[in-house]
Structure 1
Amino acid sequence: MRIIVATHNEGKLVEIRRILQQDLGELADGVELVSAGSLGLPDPMETGTTFEENALLKARDVASRTGSPAIADDSGLIVDVLGAAPGILSARWSGVHGDDGANNALLLAQIADIPDAHRTARFRCAAALAVPEGLATTAAGVADNADTTPTAYAIAAQYVQTGDMPGRIIRTPRGEQGFGYDPLFVPDDQPGRTNEHGEPLTSAEMTPAEKNAISHRGKAIAALMPSIERLLQ
């Protein structure tokens, strides 16, 4: 069955694919996971005021356009001393969507004078699944022939779950893995090893498996997994 991930970020697609393969086991062999960007679908306006609203908005938009089930997530960084900002504006905090370097630089400048003990933060993710009309009771594979015309397919069911990854913001980026604010974020949960300088790992210093085991996205998608498994079965 084709499942479309409502994103234009190929890095996010890779991460979600790893999570599904890890959690679904053999069922993952029956899933063709593709991104909305690779299909030329538009990126919908994120008009929600919460992560949950935006995740559902994106999943419903893709499912209604294609007739295929769609997974979407909306995630961001919540910095306690900034009153939960950047929050849903995390990807465009500097004013340009997806400019990780500018977003990181602005965040560091905003909390430059904050003592280490008060640089607490958390990543939060809402993951949503939207199922078009008929797929909930139809054999797997029906959606493989779906096209990308703007026909409005009715939504039969929708689900949303959330997950958090608490940690803190450091002062200098470290690591080459991940994306977004990962080089600045040290999760509270650590994989039992340190970096070459004996420091706790940032999200960007962890292997994909280490990060998925504790990540906000991994937790949210794991909570969504029973709904995905029912769809595949």
Structure 2
Amino acid sequence: MHEGTTSVSAGARIILASHNLKKLHELQRIMTAAVPGLAAESIVSSAGIELPDVVEDAVTFEGNALLKAHSAAAATGLLAVADDSGLAVDVLGGSPGIFSARWSGAHGDDEANNDLLLAQLSDVPDAHRAARFVCAAALVAPDGTEVVERGEMTGHLLRERHGEGGFGYDPLFRPDGQARTAAELSPEEKDAISHRGTAFRAIAKHVAPLLD
């Protein structure tokens, strides 16, 4: 560990700059499948670790992901991964976009965010309810080396929630080619097609050389 860095658990090699444990589990599943010899326990989240507050004031998913990853790498001396993701609705001009997690005002209130989105789209015909999930994943090494990858999952928004899995807008979103919403897919099924799955798999290709 670099002098002056924030203390993290022994054996940690990669830190996910997020307190969202569902994102952590996604990253652990994807990274350990893609990087030979990498243990899930070596990928930790920033939950419970005192990291500097990051003002996510970039205007793109990529910009915000880089802000978080650079901060975590500098604070811990570890390889840091961060993502910024959200829902882009065609008829809303790409909104909620980077404001997806706080669309209703309170950050992370999934129920309120879904309720507001349903209200905004109440008069929109089914044919015009196309949307896509977008994820920008950033990988930053303590020496400042950075990589950004992007993933998207296209689909349509339903008029009511379906499924208990996932999080965010998953219960309203039916991916193209699927008969179920993202909240009705198993974790493995979702990883295979999701925006985060695509972005994290692309990031995983860069992990082994940086760890070595």
User: TM-score if structure 1 supplies the norm length?
Assistant: 0.83
Alignment correspondent of 1:177: 165
Task: Please show how residues 59-74 of structure 1 align to structure 2 within 5 Å.
Answer: 59-74=69-84
1:21 Cα shift? 2.1
Please list every run of at least 4 consecutive aligned residues from structure 1 whose deviation after the TM superposition is greater than 4 angstroms: none
Matched residue count:
201
In structure 2, the CA distance between the partners of 1:29 and 1:116, relative to structure 1 (3 Å rule), is same
The whole-number CA distance in structure 2 between the counterparts of 1:101 and 1:35 is: 24
Cα separation, 2, equivalents of 1:211 and 1:189: 12
Q: Which structure would you say has the larger Rg?
A: 1
Judging changes above 3 Å, is the alpha-carbon distance between structure 1 residues 217 and 183 closer, same or farther for their aligned structure 2 residues? same
Q: 1:202 aligns with which of 181, 200, 210?
A: 181
Tell me which amino acid in the other structure corresponds to 1:62.
Answer: A
Alignment partner of 1:212 out of 178, 191, 196: 191
- Select 1:225's aligned residue among 199, 204, 211: 204
Aligned position for 2:114: 104
Long gaps (5+) in structure 2:
1-11
Match of 1:20 among 23, 26, 31: 31
Output the aligned Cα RMSD: 1.3
Measure the CA separation in 2 of the matches of 1:105 and 1:72: 27
- Residue 58 to residue 189, structure 1, CA distance change in 2 (3 Å): farther
Structure 1 SS opposite 2:180: coil
**Partners in 1 of 2:28 and 2:53 — Cα distance?**
20
For residues 9-48 of structure 1, what are the structure 2 equivalents within 5 Å?
9-24=20-35, 26-29=36-39, 32-48=42-58
40-49 vs 96-105, greater mean Cα deviation: 40-49
Note the alpha carbon deviations across 1:9-29, whole angstroms, 9 max, x for none: 1111111111112222x3223
Matched, 1:79 2:79: no
- In terms of fraction of residues, the more helix-rich structure is 1
TM-score computed with the length of structure 2 as normaliser = 0.91
CA drift at 1:41 = 2.3
Indicate conservation of the 8 Å contact 1:7/1:35, yes or no: yes
- Could you tell me which of 54, 62, 66 is aligned with 2:64? 54
